[in-house]
Amino acid sequence: MQPQSRPLTHDETKAAEAAFKGAPFDPKWSEAARKVYLGLSSAIANKRHEAFEDIQPSQPATVAKRVVTEIKQRSRVKSSLW
C-alpha cells in the first residue's frame, strides 16, 4: 500500500531544492526534510553513476578529437577573415 501524497512543507521544499542544487543540508530542517534531502540526493547520485556507466571507454577520445578538429576549423575561419 502506497502512502497518500501531500504537499511538501516549507522545509521539505527547501531540502528538495538543496538536494537538486547539491547544496548542504541545513540541520534546522525537520526529520521529514532530512528524508526528502537524503532520498533525492541518493537518487541523483545513482542517476549520475548510471550515466557514467553508459559511456564507453573509447568515447572520450573520440569526443576530444572531434572538439580539437572543430577548434582548428574555427580558428582557420577566423584567420581567413583577417
Task: Please give the full DSSP string across 32-46, using - where no structure is assigned.
Answer: HHHHHHHHHHHHHHH
Burial group, residue 15, by CB count within 10 angstroms (0-12, 13-18, 19+): buried
In a domain, 1, yes or no: no
In a domain, 5, yes or no: no
Band the pLDDT of 47: cuts 50, 70, 90: confident
In a domain, 43, yes or no: yes
Nine-digit cell string for 9? 512543507
In a domain, 39, yes or no: yes
The whole domain housing 71 covers 10-81
Number of domains the chain is built from: 1
pTM, two decimals, is: 0.56
In a domain, 40, yes or no: yes
Task: Please give the full DSSP string across 12-73, using - where no structure is assigned.
Answer: HHHHHHHHHHTPPPPTTS-HHHHHHHHHHHHHHHHHHHHHHHHS-TTHHHHHHHHHHHHHHH
Q: Report CA 21 to chain centroid distance, whole Å.
A: 8
In a domain, 67, yes or no: yes
Mean pLDDT value across residues 1-13: 86
In a domain, 52, yes or no: yes
- The pLDDT value given to residue 78: 47
pLDDT tens digits for range 11-36: 999 999 999 999 999 999 999 999 99
pLDDT tens digits for range 55-80: 565 555 555 566 556 666 655 544 54
